[in-house]
Structures are given as structure tokens and as C-alpha cells.
Amino acid sequence: MTRYELPAMVVEHQRRGANLYELILHAPPIAQSATPGQFVMLRPMRTHAPLWRRPYSILRANPDKGVFSVLYSVQSAFTELLSLKPIGSMIQTLGPLGSYFQPVRSARRHILVAGGVGAPPLCFFAARLVPTLQAGEQMVILEGARRDDLLVGLDEFRALGAEIRIATDDGSRGYKGFVTDLLAEALNEPIESAVYACGPNRMLQVVARLCAAGGVPCQVSLDAPMPCGIGVCLGCAVKVKTPDGGIWYRRACVEGPVFWAEEVVWE
Amino acid sequence: MTPDLRVNLGRLQLRNPVMVAAGTFGYGLEYRDLIDLAQLGAIVTKSLTLTPRMGNPPPRVVETPAGMLNAIGLQNDGVEAFLRETLSRLRELGTPVIASVAGETLEEYVGVAVQLSRAEGVAAIELNLSCPNQARGGLEFGTDPDLTMQAVAAVRRATHLPLIAKLSPQVSDIVPIACAAVQAGADILCLTNTILGVAVDAHTRQFRLASKSGGLSGPAIKPIAQYHLWRVRQALPETPLIGVGGISSADDAIEFILLGAHAVQIGTANYVQPTLALEVGQGIEAYLRANGFDSVDAIRGVVY
């Protein structure tokens, strides 16, 4: 998999919610090779405070226009620097990085489970999946957040004509409770399914358990602190089962962020 | 006139003074699509242990002001896998490969060093003395002159390769430890490794690292590393020194050289700026040219 280290040009900061922005970047090599589930490392600053770059899942990519985008909210010194980058300026970018969601072609129904800010890679995945669906194959989105205004990517999912089921912790929209309750319900329906999930690791652990119990293939995109994104610092370790029955740490930035749920050792 | 960037650290001769530090560059090959590895002064591998090590549970890293803490726990595939799968490919680059050696016992240090010495293509051994000594309740080798001397002497007997002792900054006086390492046979000293720290999450009321404490690196530790290097330079003017700790620009590297370093290592900054080591090399050359110096040697140790 080829990755590129290059300055990407800021095309637009598009307001997408109360404190949520879509950053559109022009970087043709990345836009053309990005696969849903992959991410980029962004470095909007030249100084070393803050020190780390940050990983952002790709929300969408348009190979023809050479642009891709990520979602961010302003909540730290880093994201403030990101938000202040003017249109036409450059952001040093490394990507596309990591593993990606693989459509399970034997499934009749693809269930995408998004928790809060975990939605972007699933938006990208849904956009690439829908045109490939065969007759009798369907896609359903289960999305959860703490509150109505924290639901991310609904416009994207709606534009694809997808069936969307929503859960909020406070009941301000849709089902009152966890998105994993919606998943448990969906998995009871008699149709061969595959699950693709991104969200807080606690949520993913429940998703993995439900899928394991139902024998449903499941891929999860995991979050981990990530200093390098290159595969060298071993900071983003994820504990996995190895094929020989052992246990080892794999890198969320290279072997991940998307893992088969059954590989992951949940703690 | 093109300034001479070559540096001689005793038997270890480098085409320029900029290396990449252990643990921040993998085994080197991970960066090959991001920078021209053939232009580096040397590549220091991640620390190698006798058998594969799984490392510590996550979270292993946390960002701190102008730095980061890590508690990776020396995750690596072991020295045998390195010799079997990686070294021959690294050797093709023509860049000197310095193998970092870790151990929790004297026997482990020696065992790793012996295997590396038998292999073709290792330019030097760098002894990571910030490892916890099993026999002494986890006390770091490099925080005690006797332990340092024992470790260096044991490895010295086991290898003919140039031997670099990488010292810990976790000490009140580094000079006796530096002297012990040289007496025991270290050819070169590398100053310094990370310094211990903790980070706490006020909201969850927990440590941010699963191992609680970790090694601090990044720009935050540059003054500490420079202090130790400056002091060792005064005490041991004849010993070649490598400066490491928080270098994130050519100026940072030049400061270490002015304080007496023969060479420098780029560490944490590799994570955020993969091309930095090459930019630092070019920056040193530009600095020498602009100031009328004909070599790196000409500016070494002029600040004391």
C-alpha cells in the first residue's frame, strides 16, 4: 500500500454542526488511493508544541477532483491550529494509512454501526458500498450518540438512501439507549448479516460480543493514541490473538485501525 | 568551499553527524519510502533483546507539553529475527547500522551483543543502560556507577565492535557514571536517554499510562540532555560523545555540537517530521558554510 507524505492544500472548512467542521483538502495522490476505513496524519503547525500529528479518518474522497475530507471539532490546541488554517494554505499530511473495511460479499445485509465521532469512516464505506450492492443485498445504518446534536454524518447516510436507525443516550432522538441495543435487535432478524463498526472502544467491545454470539462477521475500527502513524513507535498497540494461538500486540496504524473483531483481545 | 561533514568517533566513522535514535526509527526500513536512508549518518535500530518481547499493555504513550511519555516495554522481535530478516536488507543501504542492545540481566546484554558481533554489517553496538535490572529490583543499570561498569565491561569482553554506552539522565551526577562506562571499555558515550515522568488524567482520576510511569522525550528534555553532555565533555574531553534529547531543528543539533558532541541523534521528532534528520544535516552544512567553518570539528566544544 503506497502512502504519501505531502503538503495538502486547504480547500474549505465547512461547518457541519455546533462544533463540527469538515476540512476539505486537495491532495490527489491521497484522494485517489484512499480506501474506506483508512486515515491520514495531519500536522497543521511547524512548531513542536503541540508535538504529535493527529490521525483523522477519511470522511469522503473524490478521486476526480483530487480532494478528500475529514471531520474535526475544536477542542484542543491542536484542533484550534487546524481550524485557523486559511483556505489555500498547506497542511503537512501523511496518508492514506492503515487497513480498511472489507465488504463481506456473502452477507445479504450490511450493518454499519457508528458511535458519535466514529461515523466518518463508515460514511466513506457506505458511499463506496452502495453502488456495489446486488439485488437482494441491503445496507442499514445504526447510529448512536449521547445527544441529538452529536450525531455525525446523517446527511451523508441519508443522501445514499440508506435505512437509518438512531439511538441517543438521553432520548432526544430515536431510541433512548445505546446503539448496541439496536444492533442486538437487528441481529435477531433472520437475515445473513455482516457488521462494520466504529466508535468508542467500549461500544466496539459490546458490538464484538453480540456478533460473536450470533456468528456474524464483524470488523471494528479501533482508536488508540498514535504518535507516529508510520509504524515505528509501537505506541498504538492493540492486543490481538495470533494465528498460532498466541497473543501479541499489533499496531493500530499499520495492521489496524480496522481489525476483525474476533482477533481482538478485549480488556 | 563545501564544509566537511564527516566525523570520526574513534573507530566509528560517519559521513555526517546526524543519526536517528533507537526506538524512534523501527529497524530503519519502515521509513524507506519517506526519506532517503542512504543520506543518514547512521541508523540506530530499536533496542534488541535476546528473545521476542511483547511489550507493555496500552495505553503506552501520552503527549505532554512539548514532549511525550512512552512505556513501550521494549516490544521487539528479538535479536535472532533481526539478524535473519532485517540486517541484510539494511546493509544494502550502505548506511552504518548501529544495533541498540537491551537487557534485564548482564547475561542478556552479553547474549545479544555476541550474536550481533558474529553478524556481518553491524557498525557498532549501542548499550541501552536505561533498562531495569532484574537482579536489583528494577533499578536502571545506568543510574548506578557499579552496575554501569559491570554491564559495559561484560559487553566489552563479548564484542570487538565499537561500543557506545547510552546513559540515563535519571541521576544527580552523571560524571561518575560516564567515567565508569569509559573505564569499563565504552568507546563512545551517548547522552542521554529519556527521563522518567508520569501523567494523570484529572477527569478519570487515573494514570494516563497503563504502566503508570514512562520515559519523557521530545523538546521538553533538550536542556537536560545538553546539561549532562556539557558536564561529561568537561570531565572526559577525549571521549567521543553523541548528543540526543529533544532535537527538532538544525539549530538544536548545532547546540549539542557546540557543547562538545561529535554527532547527534534525532529521536521523537522522527515521528512528526520523517525528513527531519536530512534537514538537520543540510542545516548543519549551511550553518558551517555561512559562518566560514570548514568542518564539523571546527565548531565542536567551543561553548564550555
Tell me, what CATH number does B89's domain have?
A: 3.20.20.70
The answer to whether residue B61 neighbours chain A at the CB level (below 8 Å) is yes
Q: Do A125 and A149 fall within a single domain?
A: yes
ipTM for the predicted complex: 0.93
Output A217 or B140, whichever has higher pLDDT.
A217
Residue A17: the pLDDT is 85
Whole-number Å distance between alpha carbons of B2 and B10: 23
What's phi and psi for A104, nearest 5 deg?
-90, 105
pLDDT band at B139; cut points 50, 70, 90: confident
Reported as a pLDDT band with limits 50, 70 and 90, residue A209 is: very high
Contact list, A249 vs chain B (CB under 8 Å): 54-55, 58, 75
Residue A243 belongs to a domain: no
Q: Which whole number is the average pLDDT over B71-86?
A: 95
Residue A207 sits in the same domain as residue A138:
yes
B29 touches chain A (CB under 8 A): no
Instruction: Please check whether residues A54 and A120 belong to one and the same domain.
Output: no
Q: What is the pTM of this model?
A: 0.95
Give a yes or no: residue A228 inside a domain: no
User: Using the beta-carbon criterion (under 8 Å), do B34 and A53 form an inter-chain contact?
Assistant: no
Containing B103, the helix (H) or strand (E) segment is: none
Chain A: give the shortest CA distance to residue B73, in Å.
Answer: 10
Distance from CA of A218 to the nearest CA of B (A): 23
pLDDT tier, A202 (very low <50, low <70, confident <90, very high otherwise):
very high
Q: How many domains does chain A have?
A: 2
Q: What pLDDT does residue B290 have?
A: 97
Same domain as A163, residue A84: no
Is residue A91 domain-shared with residue A134, that is, in the same domain? no
B131 pLDDT higher than 90: no
Phi, psi at B252, each rounded to 5°: -60, -45
Q: What is the mean pLDDT of chain B?
A: 96
**Mean predicted confidence (pLDDT) in B86-110:** 94
Instruction: Please indicate if any CB of chain A lies within 8 Å of the CB of B67.
Output: yes
Q: What is the CATH number of the domain that holds A28?
A: 2.40.30.10
Query: What Cα–Cα distance (Å) separates residue A146 from each residue in A31, A74, A120, A213, B289?
Result: 32, 18, 17, 26, 60
Do A202 and A123 fall into the same domain?
A: yes
Domain that holds residue A12: 4-97
A210 and A122 within one domain: yes
The mean pLDDT value for B85-108 works out to 94
Taking one residue from A and the other from B, the number of pairs with CB-CB distance under 8 angstroms is: 99
Per-residue cell: B62: 501520552
Mean pLDDT of chain A: 96
For B292, the domain range is 7-58+71-196+216-299
Put simply, whether B100 touches A (Cβ < 8 Å) is no
**Residue B209 located in a structural domain:** no
- Among A3, A237, A238, beta carbon nearest to B33: A3
Residue A259 is assigned to a structural domain of this protein: no
Range with the poorest average pLDDT among A1-5, B224-228, B274-278, B297-301: A1-5
pLDDT at B132: 77
Q: How many domains does chain B have?
A: 1
Give CA torsion, residues B151, B157, B163, B166, to 10 deg. Answer: 0
Whether residue A252 lies inside any domain: the answer is no
Look at residues A219, A240, A256 and tell me which one is the last residue of a structural domain.
Answer: A219
- Residue B115 has a pLDDT of 97
A51–B24 CB contact, under 8 Å: no
Closest residue of chain B to A228, computed from CA coordinates: B271
Is B295 part of a structural domain of the chain? yes
Query: What pLDDT, on a 0 to 100 scale, did the predictor assign at position B133?
Result: 77
Active-site annotation holder among B42, B50, B127, B131 = B131
For A139-170, the pLDDT digits (tens) are: 999 999 999 988 999 989 999 988 999 999 99
Q: How far is A2 from chain B (nearest CA, A)?
A: 9
Query: For an interface test with B, which of A6, A93, A249 has the most B Cβ atoms less than 10 Å from its Cβ?
Result: A249
Whether B179 sits among the annotated catalytic residues: the reply is no
Q: Are residues A80 and A116 in the same domain?
A: no
Band (B135; pLDDT cuts 50, 70, 90) = confident
pLDDT in tens, B198-238: 999 999 999 999 999 999 999 999 999 999 999 999 999 99
Residue of B nearest to A50 (CA): B66
Residue A52 to residues A212, A229, B193, B273, Cα–Cα distance (Å): 36, 10, 20, 10
Within 8 A of B204 by CB-CB distance, chain A residues are none
> What is the per-residue pLDDT for A65?
98
Do residue A128 and residue A202 come from a single domain? yes
Question: B100 near B43, Cβ under 8 Å?
Answer: no
Beta bridge partners of A138: A109
Mark which residues 202-261 of B lie under 8 Å from A by CB: 218-219, 248
Position A190 in a domain: yes
CATH value at residue A115 = 3.40.50.80
Within a domain: A152: yes
- Cβ pair A49:B65 closer than 8 A: yes
User: What confidence category does residue B138 fall into, taking pLDDT thresholds of 50, 70 and 90?
Assistant: confident
Q: Please name the member of A94, A235, A239 whose beta carbon is closest to the beta carbon of B61.
A: A235
Give domain status of residue B269, yes or no.
yes
pLDDT tens-digit series, residues B160-179 = 999 999 999 999 999 999 99
Give domain status of residue B206, yes or no.
no
Q: Is residue A69 part of a domain?
A: yes
